[in-house]
Amino acid sequence: MGRHGTIAGRKESQDKRRAALFTKYARVITVAARAGGDPEYNISLKHAIDKAKSINMPNANIDRAIKKGTGEIEGEVYEEMIFEGYGPAGVAIVVETLTDNKNRTTSNVRSTFDKYGGNLGTPGCVSYMFNRKGLLIIEKTDDVDEDELMEAALEAGMEDMQVYDDSFEILTDPDDFNDVKEALQAAGYEFVEADIENVPTIESEPTNEDDIKNLKKMIEILEDNDDVQKVYNNSSVDLMD
């Protein structure tokens, strides 16, 4: 993702894609559970379960995904694939996938880039424009005091906080993400989003309306693909609007 969008836009997108998100998060849980099915001893699994619960994924789905990962029940074997390239107007795009069929996923991602005026590139062609960061988004309400939040997040180990019209976005080193998240949760803060993301360090500013329209459609199609976990871009224009 580039600019993370308004809170209302994020919630609307999440509501529309809830069923698809169940499938995506189940895959993440299954892969994470390969390293052990107890979230108290598997941070990646704990984080994946937290994400699933944040969209009200049923416990039965979570338990089934864990058992697939630990081998208690049969399931597909998923592998990670990362695609990089450019969308319309030269906007950098990174697509993270978990797939049980590399040929299918590659074909679908490539055709989506081609259809909407993008170019799929080689590994590393755009990833240098992003840094891996922990990201925690908190809705700006009357109950959230900016100074108190800043102090609590700093004490917990955050790197930076960006303030928008409707949200606070807290950035952390990936290694500090869980500590900051747990400290803020203990302090009573709730998150609209909490994840480790690719945050752009170089932004692109598309100005042509057709390019922006095609960018939005490209990202929408990619995100609707069950194999796709995350789509990141470095557009300075809010593509979730």
> What integer best gives the mean pLDDT of the chain?
92
Asked whether the predicted pLDDT for residue 42 surpasses 90, the reply is yes
Residue 1 pLDDT > 70: no
Give the β-pairing of 130-139 and 167-172.
antiparallel
Domains of the chain: 7-70 (1.10.10.200), 81-128+201-233 (3.30.70.980), 131-198 (3.30.70.980)
Task: Calculate mean pLDDT across residues 104-124.
Answer: 97
Q: What is the pLDDT of residues 55-79, one digit of tens each?
A: 899 999 999 999 999 999 998 899 9
pLDDT at 75: 82
Question: pTM surpassing 0.75?
Answer: yes
